[in-house]
Amino acid sequence: MRRPTVKLRALERGDVDRLYRYANTARVAEHQVSFRLPTSRSDAKAFYERMRRSQTDRVFSVESSRGRYLGSVGLHDISWLDRTCEFGVVIADPRDWGRGYAAAAVRAGVAVAFDRLQLHRLEVPVLARNTVARSMYERLGFFPEGILRERRFFDGCYEDVVVLSLLSSERDD
Ligand SMILES: CC(C)(COP(=O)(O)OP(=O)(O)OC[C@H]1O[C@@H](n2cnc3c(N)ncnc32)[C@H](O)[C@@H]1OP(=O)(O)O)[C@@H](O)C(=O)NCCC(=O)NCCS
């Protein structure tokens, strides 16, 4: 797989409609924790406002080297004491999947987390059946720690969630 260049930039007001669109894209939403139900524009705007003010979340938009919007990388529930956070990535348009953008975005997000924010541990919850995301994180050095049984409820079913983590000492450039 080629390694495209991506850039992370701050989440902007202009991203609200993009968040709204991907939150309502079934193939994206089925894997999401935050935007799981039909999401309104005002929900997306409220999310943007909340993230902008938050001391414990950092959300970045991912762009291609030509400035095309691709998705987002989120660092959530940051503990400044333990230096941990929950980490996630979304590539918004399924037509962009399989081109190496998520792996590049995760690498960029890991660099922000460890270099800029000096975090120590990143934790990723992934649906057990999301084999693409699980193997991507493992390839990037994340360690599968365990299964949270029937942790998530979606569309009438309880589903297992796998937790993977990466420590700053394990980072693999
Ligand atoms: C999961 C997701 C982030 C992957 O994004 P992507 O841009 O397609 O991923 P990449 O192209 O960087 O590929 C990552 C790896 O998955 C593999 N992969 C991608 N699509 C695949 C497919 N359909 N089948 C099998 N493997 C696939 C790639 O070969 C690559 O593996 P490699 O690093 O060994 O070469 C994207 O599908 C998505 O946003 N899904 C919805 C949200 C989500 O699931 N987020 C993850 C939970 S945090």
Tens of pLDDT along 37-81? Answer: 788 999 999 999 999 999 999 999 999 999 999 999 999 999 999
Measured from the CB, is residue 31 less than 6 Å from ligand 1?
Answer: yes
pLDDT above 90 (res 104): yes
Contacts of 8 (CB under 8 A, 6+ apart): 60, 61, 62, 63, 73, 105, 108, 109, 112
pLDDT mean over 125-148:
97
Q: How far is Cα 19 from Cα 90, in angstroms, rounded to an integer?
A: 10
pLDDT mean over 152-166:
93
pTM: 0.94
pLDDT above 80 (res 125): yes
Q: What percent of the chain has pLDDT above 90?
A: 86
pLDDT above 80 (res 173): no
What per-residue confidence (pLDDT) applies to 34?
A: 64
* Confidence band of 122 (pLDDT split at 50, 70, 90): very high
| Residue 31 Cα to ligand 1 middle (Å) | 12
What per-residue confidence (pLDDT) applies to 161?
A: 95
What per-residue confidence (pLDDT) applies to 51?
A: 96
What per-residue confidence (pLDDT) applies to 38?
A: 81
Which domains, and CATH codes, for the chain?
6-122 (3.40.630.30)
The conformation of residue 131, written as its DSSP 8-state character, comes to H
- Nearest ligand 1 atom to the CA of 88 is 48
Measured from the CB, is residue 28 less than 6 Å from ligand 1?
Answer: yes
What per-residue confidence (pLDDT) applies to 1?
A: 63
Which of 115, 118, 113, 116 is closest to 142 using CA atoms?
Answer: 113
Measured from the CB, is residue 102 less than 6 Å from ligand 1?
Answer: yes
- For 16-33, the pLDDT digits (tens) are 999 999 999 989 988 876
Cα torsion 14, 19, 24, 29 to 10°: value is: 170
